[in-house]
Structure 1
Amino acid sequence: MPNPIGAGPVHQLLHALPIPSLPANIERWIPGSTPISTTKDVALAVSVYLALIFGGQDFMADRPAYRFKPLFMLHNFLLSAGSGLLLALMLEEIVPIIWKNGLFYAICSNDAWTPRMETYYIFNYFFKYWELFDTGFLVIKKKPLQFLHVFHHTATAVLCYTQLNGRTSVSWVVITLNLFVHVLMYYYYFMTAAGYKIWWKKYLTTLQITQFVIDLFTVYFATYSYFSAEYYPSFPTMGSCAGTEGAAIFGCALLTSYLFLFIAFYQRTYKKPAGAAAKQAAAKVAKKLQ
């Protein structure tokens, strides 16, 4: 179906640049033709990732850590800038749809899954595999691999795959919030790798948790609206929502797990036990009295 809303200025600028046009299997989601677009492909990619990072840990066990600082900085700078560009492209596509048709339409209508949005969803999906190199840097630096890191990176790639297959129009809410967080997160890693002291890491984690709260409110609303309209018409509902049932349920479940995992990470990282805080305060007082 042709897109009734014209392309935004960022999209037009990119098209004016002397860069090749996208192949059809990148511009559109074509299972079996688009890269990593079948369940077999995703399972293989995830298996290779897990084998490499855990095998890499064993390989690095009796070897010195490597930094690759310039490469690590470039990786983070490009991910921050790329996330910002993709965020701008998605916002200039979805904001006019919201303005013209309302928020519920943008979240739940099949027509909100525009051809350009599908292309942006595909690029966001590919970003998830690029982000797996985050773990590679941890391995060669001999940093510990936390469950949250490995699970989040792996599961998010699977999540994006399921939503592309399920064509859930609500995806843009989750993705735009995630891109906004990633602009800041990868900028933080870039600057700290450059040697700067960044004071707002704690608030970045708070922002991530806030992101999941908004995500869950939106996707649970969309899922409830769909099931009410389809199976329980006597329940209050604003109408059905685009996307397959399996993709909706999987998205709700996974995002719920993210919220609890990030809250637990925040508590472990930033909430000191009362006893430890008291000892630290007493040590400061004793130091001043010396």
Structure 2
Amino acid sequence: MVSSTPGPVYSFLHSLPVPSLPFNIEHWVPGSTPLSTTPEVVYAITFYLVVIFGGQALMRGSKPYRFKPLFMLHNFLLSAGSALLLALMLEEILPIVWEHGLFYAICHNDAWTPRMETYYIFNYFFKYWELFDTAFLVVKKKPLQFLHVFHHTATAVLCYTQLNGRTSVSWVVITLNLFVHVLMYYYYFMTAAGYKIWWKKYLTTLQITQFVIDLFTVYFASYSYFTATYLPTWPTMGSCAGTESAALLGCGLLTSYLFLFISFYAKT
């Protein structure tokens, strides 16, 4: 079993005079946790698409709106929130890696700890908050690229399926994504404030690197599961936690992200 000792960031947050989380936020309870059923996810994504494309049509005869203070606040909070969630996840998962090894941390059922489940839920909710990125593009009358819309919607679906599938490897993808988002939303915040950021062009390179690491990890975890389950004579380190559907969807979506971001990088 893994250690249950909370880290310093978790302990500090719990020392603050704030109410405890409801059970259905601290734990994934399909049908009780918000946005935890397929119809809810479909309705949310459909509403998002209707709003952004309907808003784009309505804005055709209007001048662009900046909403600069609100845009800056949105990006600052997402950067800071991503940094906090990243710190919480790392202080939970790194001791597991240290004590039991990397394969255990990405493949064992016990690596899906109660605290990690809470962090996965908050990361999932962040994906709906991030949909407001598109709303700002619409009111600013910026073009909506396929990569942007697809990535935002597909990532929400991806997080939903991994929560249902309880894939222990999720932390690799999520921590890398949170690290990128700390920098990305900080960049948006600073440029909105009027600063020039010299490392702008490296953000897309960093995202491509992230997806390469993601794919290597999730392909390895999926290979381990399928060989241990169906091809026991093949070389394998053992099975991996999570459902088959979650593994296959994760591999498919992350592969599509890689090729889409490479295409975007080549064009821009």
- Give TM class, smaller chain: over 0.9
* Number of corresponding residues: 268
Alignment correspondent of 1:218: 217
The question of whether the paired residues in 1 share the 8 Å contact of 2:2 and 2:96 is answered with: no
RMSD across aligned positions (CA): 0.7
Residue identity matched to 1:63: S
Q: Partners in 2 of 1:265 and 1:63 — Cα distance?
A: 29
Unaligned runs of 5+ in 2: none
Q: Partners in 1 of 2:170 and 2:26 — Cα distance?
A: 17
Task: Give a deviation string over 1:97-122, Cα, whole Å, max 9, x none.
Answer: 00000000000000000000000000
Alignment correspondent of 2:159: 160
- Look up the SS of the partner of 1:104 in the other structure: helix
Q: Partners in 1 of 2:109 and 2:206 — Cα distance?
A: 30
Alignment correspondent of 1:282: none
Mapping for residues 1-290 of structure 1, pairs under 5 Å: 4-269=3-268
The question of whether the paired residues in 1 share the 8 Å contact of 2:2 and 2:111 is answered with: no
- Look up the SS of the partner of 2:20 in the other structure: coil
Q: Partners in 1 of 2:233 and 2:214 — Cα distance?
A: 26
Q: Partners in 2 of 1:3 and 1:187 — Cα distance?
A: 34
TM-score, normalised relative to structure 2: 0.99
Q: How much identity, in percent, do the aligned residues show?
A: 81
Residue identity matched to 1:5: S
Q: Partners in 2 of 1:62 and 1:154 — Cα distance?
A: 27
Residue identity matched to 1:267: A
Unaligned runs of 5+ in 1: 270-290
How far does residue 199 in structure 1 lie from its aligned partner after superposition?
1.4
- Look up the SS of the partner of 2:33 in the other structure: coil
Alignment correspondent of 1:277: none
- Look up the SS of the partner of 1:124 in the other structure: helix
Task: Tell which structure's C-alpha radius of gyration is larger.
Answer: 1
TM-score, normalised relative to structure 1: 0.92
How far does residue 201 in structure 1 lie from its aligned partner after superposition?
1.2
Task: Give a deviation string over 1:118-172, Cα, whole Å, max 9, x none.
Answer: 0000000000000000000000000000000000000000000000000000000
Instruction: Please identify runs of 4+ aligned residues in structure 1 that moved more than 3 A.
Output: none
- Look up the SS of the partner of 2:61 in the other structure: coil
